[in-house]
A and B are shown apart, each in its own frame.
Chain A
Amino acid sequence: MSVSVLPTQPWRATPRIMATEAAGVLAALLLTLLTLRFTGFSGRLAAAVLFVAFATAISSGIEWRRRGFEAAQDAFVRAMLLTASALVMLPLLSILWTVVQNGRAALRPNFFTQDLTSASGTGPIDQGGAIHAIVGSIELVALATLIAMPLGVLSALYLTEIRGRLSGTIRFLTQAMSGVPSVVAGLFVYSAWVLGPGKGFSGFAGALALAILMLPTVARTAEEVLKLVPEHLREAGLALGGTQWRTVAGIVLPTARSGLITAGILGVARIAGETAPLILTVFGAVAINTSMFNGPVSALPLYVFGELKLGLDTAFARAWTGALVLMFLVLVLFAFARWLGGRNTR
């Protein structure tokens, strides 16, 4: 006689439990509606609070009847965690939704082809655009990357290749540097460059400030990536008689290439939306400025900020569109870095 043992999952919710839970949620919904109908409570906030309170109470109550006090506590915490998660998701979805919704109005071809030399920031939205800000942002970010990328990778190389006595200190200071408020980076560049050798606002000053903010991100990510390069590859390079320099340049860096690109992209995503340091260093302009060392430059975050301060409906529409374009760029960069990073670890 053969006995076949079927696998069971005793912890799985039975149809009966699922039905009870569904009924509980429905009851909470019903209670909420009744309370809103027959008491002084009204509005979305009251509805949300009442629903969460009723649902939590009902599910805790069901668990208490079924399995006692400990289980009721468990159900209560589960409901609270769900609420907390919803509390984070709501603003995020609200931000994405409103930026897309409000940014559509001024999202016209002229936004990408014209600047604000002939049109005013408060004029009708079919005149003038933000091409100067888009070009300025690209210039600033490119120059900042040119400065911060080599320095960041060198910092990471010190931590993974040289492993000197200062490793702990440098890791610590890089961490501290990532906490420097962006406005302080801007003030520093203003005092050290704009008031000094730079002789006034310039794109280069802005790029310097952005590079300060970008460096820690690049250094930290690059360190993580270089750590993933297998030790035996380094040893193989040295065993073949290569110097450390040849080993790093010929083996370590090429192995980590896509990871280093990820580090760069994350750094760019970090600085592309920075506003405060740019107010203090590049000042903003209404036309494209191709010189990075002479005169103010504009940038997308500055454009959004400037339009917002003008305080008229058309200016607000422009600000939202600027925010939409800016956020689109940042999110694309972020997604690209994620995709590249995910490919790298596999």
Chain B
Amino acid sequence: MSDAAVQPREITTSPRPSDRVFRGIVTAGGLTSLVVLALIAIFLYVKSHAVFTTFGWHFITDANWTPDDSVKMSTGHYGIGAMLVGTLITSVMAIIFAVPVAIGLALFLTHYAPHWMRAPLTLLVDLMAAIPSVVYGLWGFFVLMPMAINWSMLINHYLGFIPIFSVPVPIFDRSPFIASLVLAVMIVPIITAIAREVYAQAPRDHIEAAYALGSTKWAAMRAVVLPHGRAGVIGGTMLGLGRALGETVAVYMVLNLVYSVNFHVLQSAGGSVASMIVNKFGEATSFEVQGLMAAGLVLFLLTLLVNFAADLVVRLASKGA
């Protein structure tokens, strides 16, 4: 018997023309995200490269933003250093406020709340993610800010000896602190959604085993649920960070944009790249608009980086589990 006889018979078909067209169209549609992301990067770069060639790295490191003066015929100076630092300060503070609360809420929703309470509470939190950012801005300006000013004064009164809580000029409204509180409220539902998912997947039998060994609920959470969800929570946190970095309108309403780096978080002076774009857009000269596009490109790359990192962490986590 020859070897050829035991070889499996190979069946080949060629796709019909209609299928070829179908697969072509679907593949093209599938590539939309790639095309759009590439186009965003290309267009913003092409329209703004004059800014990068003029100012180089100073565009990112310099703090002052002086528009062109049409009367004196002078060109302006554009740098987003202060805005970039301000964005990072408010976003990181928002993360610091939001993460513990979101973890607590997620743990409560998955393992502590009575069963009848879980569905409605989860719905409420998901609903929170659907509230438009302009509504958050409105609420932040009219409701949160009057209260937060008092909190700022309290913190300043008792902790003012710590440099970041000191206030050179005692004006407390529209500060990075208040902006980060609004951002925190906005990103809690995002982090909670992901933390809830990973906590709910924690192995039931391990938790039961912990109980059987006589551990309290918290000991079981600490030994099983929290380690199981750690990577997922980190990923969710970074998604929240991405959202906070790019938030525009809500921050615009509750933050006083000042073009110099300010580390006094209770002071009415802060920065946000996204809000600056909207703020300067209306009366910008044509070269200034290119500066805004350059700022947009920096923001785009920054959020892309954070999101890539988040995706990587979540993916590694799901592989490890």
Tell me the A residues contacting B by CB distance below 8 Å: 43, 45, 70-71, 73-74, 77-78, 80-85, 87-89, 91-92, 94-95, 98-99, 102, 150-151, 153-155, 157-159, 161-162, 164, 166, 169-170, 172-185, 187-188, 191-192, 195, 212, 215-216, 219, 243-246, 248, 269-270, 272-276, 279-280, 301, 304-305, 308, 316, 319-320, 323, 326-327, 330-331, 334, 338
Q: Once bound together, how far apart are the Cα atoms of A174 and B34, in whole Å? A: 8
| Structural contact, A181 and B274, CB atoms closer than 8 A | yes
| Structural contact, B34 and A173, CB atoms closer than 8 A | yes
Q: Once bound together, how far apart are the Cα atoms of A177 and B35, in whole Å? A: 11
Q: Once bound together, how far apart are the Cα atoms of A172 and B303, in whole Å? A: 14
Main secondary structure of the interface of B (DSSP, over half): helix
CB distance from B116 to the nearest CB of A (A): 15
Please judge, given known A-B contacts A70-B219, A166-B30, A187-B293, whether A88 and B25 are in contact too, CB under 8 Å.
no
| Structural contact, B303 and A179, CB atoms closer than 8 A | yes
| Structural contact, A301 and B34, CB atoms closer than 8 A | no
Contact with A along B105-144 (1 / 0, CB 8 A): 1011100110000000101111110111111111101111
Q: Once bound together, how far apart are the Cα atoms of A71 and B217, in whole Å? A: 9
Nearest A residue to B312 by beta-carbon distance?
A172
B261 at the interface (CB under 8 A from A): no
CB distance from B289 to the nearest CB of A (A): 8
B40 at the interface (CB under 8 A from A): yes
Q: Once bound together, how far apart are the Cα atoms of A66 and B67, in whole Å? A: 69
Please judge, given known A-B contacts A81-B107, A275-B249, whether A183 and B277 are in contact too, CB under 8 Å.
yes
| Structural contact, B121 and A176, CB atoms closer than 8 A | no
* Complex A-B: 6 CB contacts under 8 Å: A70-B216, A74-B216, A84-B105, A84-B108, A88-B192, A154-B28
Q: Once bound together, how far apart are the Cα atoms of A319 and B239, in whole Å? A: 30
Contact for B246 among A174, A181, A275, CB less than 8 A: A181
Please judge, given known A-B contacts A95-B135, A181-B248, whether A154 and B30 are in contact too, CB under 8 Å.
yes
Residues of B within 8 A of A74 (CB): 216-219
Q: Once bound together, how far apart are the Cα atoms of A323 and B19, in whole Å? A: 48
Given contacts A73-B218, A183-B299, A327-B131, 8 further A-B contacts (CB under 8 A): A45-B150, A45-B154, A175-B311, A180-B40, A183-B296, A184-B300, A280-B278, A301-B132
Q: Once bound together, how far apart are the Cα atoms of A188 and B304, in whole Å? A: 15
| Structural contact, A84 and B101, CB atoms closer than 8 A | yes
Contact with A along B226-253 (1 / 0, CB 8 A): 0000000000000100110111110001
CB distance from A224 to the nearest CB of B (A): 13
Q: Once bound together, how far apart are the Cα atoms of A169 and B27, in whole Å? A: 12
| Structural contact, A188 and B124, CB atoms closer than 8 A | no
Please judge, given known A-B contacts A84-B108, A99-B139, whether A274 and B132 are in contact too, CB under 8 Å.
yes
